[in-house]
Chain A
Amino acid sequence: MSINIIRAGILDTIQDTGRYGLRHLGINPGGAMDVYSALLANIIACNDKNDAVIEIHFPGSVFQFESQAVIVITGADFNPTLDETVIALNTPVHVNQTSILRFARPITGTRCYLSVSGGLDVKPWMDSFSTNLKANVGGFNGRRLGKNDILPFKNKHLPSEEKIIRALDLSPDANSWKTLIFSSEESMFFIRGPEWDILSEESNSILERESFIIQNSSDRMGYSLSGTSLTRKHQEEMVSSPVAFGTIQLLPDGQLIILMADHQTTGGYPRIGCIITACLHLLAQKKPGDRIRLKECSVTDAESLLIRQQEYLSTLEKEIQERVIEK
């Protein structure tokens, strides 16, 4: 029961929803960039929500299955094919023994998630499967996946693919999650950060009026943005202070950087805002060259949007689980 990697991708790692409780030691949570898609991949595969998934960037790894399996791919559409036949996203797919999974070309998004029904059999480090490339811990030997790596998956008694598919089709809004994931939406909501007041009056109107382009140097640590240079009221040096996934920092040259999943635990640049959690999965699927706009919202609105998203996932999970058991 395993998947072999017969060609390495550019940056494919084992991830989950993150490693928490160690930030005071400088150990960041890491985890999937697009947590929403990672959760969805596990929910549709009838796995535990926190099971390990493979986060795949383009060009992705080429996988060969040593045994049959049911897999789910969510997030970016890299035109996945199974033995040369295109397979659908966001739905359980039956895989035959020796089948080869490839990702042909990037159509939408930046990273996709692969889950295997039953769950990948990798060892957690500090209660999480996510790969910390800085400390070389977690995931698969603390590193990105390479050629000839063998990823075992758990030998559980699994609901068959048909059962899962039937369960999904029975659900009243069977296809609605498919539309939830992708949107060409440019607007990212943010709340004001601790150093919001450092922005000059003029800059603070530029922030919402103009758009910003994601730079080539953007990666799992952060997205560098380019746009009209923002000015500040004073040039005071800041002592290091905690940051979060989504924190928008103002750099000395007037440009912005948005901290992403592999961000450091603390930073010394003014935190003018933070992208709301409910928008992070959209941002995580943007790529260098894409344009985004920043729109301010209240913490209460940010919370309502997050709750709606989480309740949607919980309902979907419950329905799938119930219907799989019923049949």
Chain B
Amino acid sequence: MTATFPYRILPLSDSSMLIDFGNTISPEINDRVLEAYHVFSSYPIPGMVEAVPAYSSLAVYYDVMKVRDLNPGILSSFQWIKKEIENKMLHPVSIPASIREIMRIPVCYDLPCGPDIQMVSEKTKLKPVEIIGLHTSKTYRVYMLGFMPGFPYMGELDEKLILPRKSTPVQVLNGSVGIAGKQTGIYPFDSPGGWHIIGRTPVKMFDASREVPVTIDAGTEIQFYPITEYEYQHYQGGNS
């Protein structure tokens, strides 16, 4: 256990509670969120449905009827769950080391894989090769998944690459690697999107036939490495 951060526990709906560490993107706070997520997913509260981690908050969803059935005599599922969450939050456990492993993801930054790289180059006054250099120069933490199945929100980008998102979303292809604000992400599916697309990975981000259909977990560290368009077309491996 390291430093503690203040948090609020409040209802998100009539069958879910939010543990809110404030409106910030910080690795330390995200660590607290992931520790809490690990506690709730490893030692679920009776009647709990699931827990969902985000940047600086965690939601705990529960089944009102199940909570009552499993805990006869309680007056309200809401009050009871709130108490249980308060108790659990006092005893965090550390995040399993396996989650912290670095996953290397190949990205083709050439056209047509990165349709917005020229525009990013104009706005940032960086050459495409410098953009690629900066994007691949560090590892990114996957803070959370959201938006669509398997979409990882990663950060933080080098300051020189920070741009506001597009004002109107455009159609984006699956595997596209985008940047917006301090974040970078990968679109697992074709979708409208407002991030600037600088490359595309051949790694499948979602596969319904796998036991865990999603490739990247919250908490993972991601390092991108550049590949040529030829390598993109003939890519055979998983991630390395």
Contact = CB atoms under 8 A, between A and B. Distances in A.
18 contacts: A24-B53, A25-B212, A25-B213, A26-B149, A134-B148, A134-B191, A191-B14, A239-B23, A239-B56, A240-B55, A241-B56, A242-B54, A244-B61, A247-B12, A266-B54, A266-B146, A274-B11, A299-B76
Contact of B23 (A21, A26, A236, A299): A236
Given A265-B146, A266-B146, A242 B78 contact: no
A191 B76 CA distance: 15
A23 B52 contact: yes
Interface stretch (A52-60, A152-160, A302-310): A302-310
B83 to A, nearest CB: 14
B54 A20 contact: no
B78 A24 contact: no
Taking chain B's interface residues, is the majority helix, strand, or loop, or is none over half, making it mixed? Answer: mixed
Nearest to B208: A137
B146 A276 contact: no
Contacts of A137: 208, 213
A28 B57 CA distance: 18
B49 A20 contact: yes
Interface residue range, chain A: 35 or more
Contacts of B147: 26, 240, 264-266
A274 B208 CA distance: 31
Contacts of A310: 64-65
Q: Which of B51, B146, B151 has the most CB of A within 10 A?
A: B146
A246 B14 CA distance: 10
B49 to A, nearest CB: 5
B78 A303 contact: yes
Nearest to B50: A21
A170 interface: no
Contacts of B78: 299-300, 303
A55 B154 CA distance: 37
B15 interface: yes
Given A23-B52, A24-B53, A303-B64, A277 B13 contact: yes
Contacts of A146: none
Given A300-B76, A300-B78, A26 B11 contact: no
Contacts of A125: 208
A264 B59 contact: no
A244 B51 CA distance: 12
Interface of A: 20-28, 125-126, 132, 134-137, 142, 191-194, 236, 238-247, 264-266, 271, 274, 276-278, 299-300, 302-303, 306-307, 310
A135 B208 contact: yes
Given A242-B12, A244-B59, 4 more contacts: A22-B50, A137-B208, A276-B14, A277-B15
A24 B20 CA distance: 16
Contacts of A300: 76, 78
Closest 5 CB pairs of A and B: A266-B146, A242-B59, A302-B14, A244-B13, A26-B145
Q: Which of A126, A192, A242, A302 has the most CB of B within 10 A?
A: A242
B150 to A, nearest CB: 6
Interface of B: 8, 10-16, 18, 20, 23-25, 37, 41, 49-59, 61, 64-65, 68, 76-78, 144-151, 153, 189, 191, 206, 208, 212-214, 217-218
A240 B144 contact: yes
Given A24-B218, A134-B149, A135-B189, A126 B13 contact: no
Contacts, number: 151
Contacts of A244: 12-13, 15-16, 59, 61
B145 A241 contact: no
Nearest to B63: A20
B168 to A, nearest CB: 14
A25 B14 contact: no
Contact of B213 (A27, A194, A238, A302): A27
A306 B14 contact: yes
B52 A307 contact: no
B55 A303 contact: no
Contacts of A274: 11-14
A135 B206 contact: yes
Nearest to A244: B13
B27 to A, nearest CB: 13
Contact of A277 (B14, B58, B153): B14
Given A25-B150, A25-B213, A26-B147, A271 B12 contact: yes
Given A24-B37, A25-B150, A240-B55, A303 B144 contact: no
